[in-house]
């Protein structure tokens, strides 16, 4: 029995040691509400990635840039990441306010969500996709990153923010 306990302890200890050094393969996306809570609690920034369906640049950024191990690690270790469809029909709550998509569901999906508008309006009203916004623990947008960013460019931009 003692040998079994020792073997099991060794197994779990070695598993936990090896798993900590493993490369993170995916960004740990959160809901906007959960990320808002954590951002406030830990005084860390939120990384919000807006996309729309059918956007080639959004698809490319999700498949290439946001899957790159260096970018995944950088985002997971320094931000609370959120991925939102900028045309979602869902009601979203942020900073104590509810946001909607004003276009009726019956009319399709071509109109932007009010939360997207609220967050990008001070970024020179650039309604482009994809769009990354950095929000601090006080719910203030601190940085705007509009458009497609390849891995190296996004990495430089995020590292500049973290200095």
When divided into structural domains, the chain yields a total of 1
Helix (H, G, I), strand (E, B) or coil at 30: strand
Start-to-end CA distance of the chain, whole Å, equals 53
Asked, for residue 3, whether it belongs to a domain, the answer is no
Instruction: Please list the pLDDT of the chain residue by residue as tens digits (163 residues).
Output: 444 333 333 333 333 333 345 567 899 999 999 999 999 999 899 999 999 999 999 999 999 999 999 999 999 999 999 999 999 989 999 999 999 988 766 666 568 889 998 998 876 657 899 999 999 988 999 999 999 999 999 999 999 999 8
Asked, for residue 74, whether it belongs to a domain, the answer is yes
Q: How many CB atoms lie within 10 A of CB 160?
A: 9
Residue holding tokens 């601190």?
142
In this prediction the pTM is 0.82
CA–CA distance, 134 with 142 (Å, rounded to integer): 6
Identify the CA nearest to 20 among candidates 79, 78, 73.
73
Domain with 126, as residue range(s), is: 24-162
Residue holding tokens 């979203």?
92
């Amino acid at each position: 029995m003692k040998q079994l306990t020792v073997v099991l302890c060794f197994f779990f200890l070695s598993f936990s040691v090896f798993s900590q050094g493993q490369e993170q393969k995916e960004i740990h996306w959160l809901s906007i509400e959960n990320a808002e809570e954590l951002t406030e609690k830990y005084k860390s920034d939120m990384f919000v990635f807006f996309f729309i369906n059918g956007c080639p640049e959004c698809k490319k950024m999700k498949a290439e840039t946001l899957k790159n191990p260096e970018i995944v690690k950088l985002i997971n270790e320094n931000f609370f990441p959120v991925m939102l469809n900028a045309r979602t029909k869902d009601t979203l709550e942020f900073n104590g306010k509810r946001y909607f998509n004003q276009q009726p569901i019956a009319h399709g999906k071509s109109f932007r969500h009010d939360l997207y508008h609220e967050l990008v309006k001070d970024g020179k009203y650039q309604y482009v996709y994809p769009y990354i916004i950095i929000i601090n623990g006080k719910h203030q947008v601190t940085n705007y990153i509009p458009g497609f960013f390849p891995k190296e460019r996004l990495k430089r931009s995020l590292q500049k923010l973290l200095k």
